Structure 1
Amino acid sequence: EGISLYRHYDNRGRLTSVKDAQGRETQYEYNAAGDLTAVITPGGNRSETQYDAWGKAVSTTQGGLTRSMEYDAAGRVATLTNENGSDSAFRYDALDRLVQQGGFDGRTQRYHYDLTGKLTQSEDEGLVTLWHYDESDRLTHRTVNGEPAEQWQYDGHGWLREISHLSEGHRVAVHYGYDDKGRLTSERQTVKNPETGELLWQHETKQAY
Structure 2
Amino acid sequence: MVRLIRPNEYDPETDSGDGFQFTYDAQGRVLTVLSPDGHVLQSNTYDADGRLLQRLDGVGSGVKYEYDLAGAQRRIVSMGGASQELEYDARGRITGIVDGNGSETKYLLDEWGRITGVVKADGSTERYAYNFAGDMVSSTDG
Q: TM-score, normalised by structure 1?
A: 0.54
Which amino acid counterpart does residue 82 of structure 2 have in structure 1?
Answer: R
Amino acid at match of 1:51: Y
* Equivalent residue number for residue 55 of structure 1: 28
Q: Which residue of 1 aligns with 2:73?
A: 98
Report how far residue 70 of structure 1 moved: 0.8
Tell me the residue number matched to 1:111: 86
Q: What percentage of aligned pairs have identical amino acids?
A: 23
Residue aligning to 1:138: 114
Equivalent of 1:46, from 5, 11, 19?
19
Bigger proportion of residues as strand: 1
TM-score by length of 2: 0.76
Corresponding residue SS for 1:111: strand
SS across alignment from 1:46: coil
**Which whole-Å CA distance do the structure 1 matches of 2:134 and 2:62 have between them?**
41
- Partner residue, 1:18: 10
**Aligned partners of 1:137 and 1:146: how far apart in 2?**
24
Report the Cα distance in structure 2 between the residues aligned to 1:140 and 1:56, rounded to whole angstroms.
34
State the alpha-carbon separation in 2 of the partners of residues 55 and 160 from structure 1.
Answer: 35
Distance 1:57-1:154 versus aligned 2 partners, 3 A rule: closer
The 1-side partners of 2:132 and 2:26 are apart by 51
SS for the counterpart of 2:69 is: coil
SS at match of 1:18: coil
Change (3 A) 1:152 1:58: same
Match of 2:4 in 1: none
Report the secondary structure of 2:124's partner residue.
Answer: strand
Distance in 1 separating the partners of 2:111 and 2:33:
44
TM-superposed CA distance for 1:141, in Å, is 0.8
Quote how far apart the aligned CAs of 1:140 are. Answer: 1.3
Shift in CA distance, 59/157, structure 1 to aligned 2, threshold 3 Å: closer
Structure-2 change in CA distance of 1:134 and 1:51 (3 Å): closer
The answer to which structure, 1 or 2, has the higher relative contact order (CA under 8 A, 6+ apart) is 2
Q: Which residue is equivalent to 1:31?
A: none
Number of residue pairs aligned between Structure 1 and Structure 2: 133
Q: Which runs of 5+ in 1 are unaligned?
A: 1-13, 26-41, 167-209
Quote the RMSD (CA, aligned, Å).
2.7
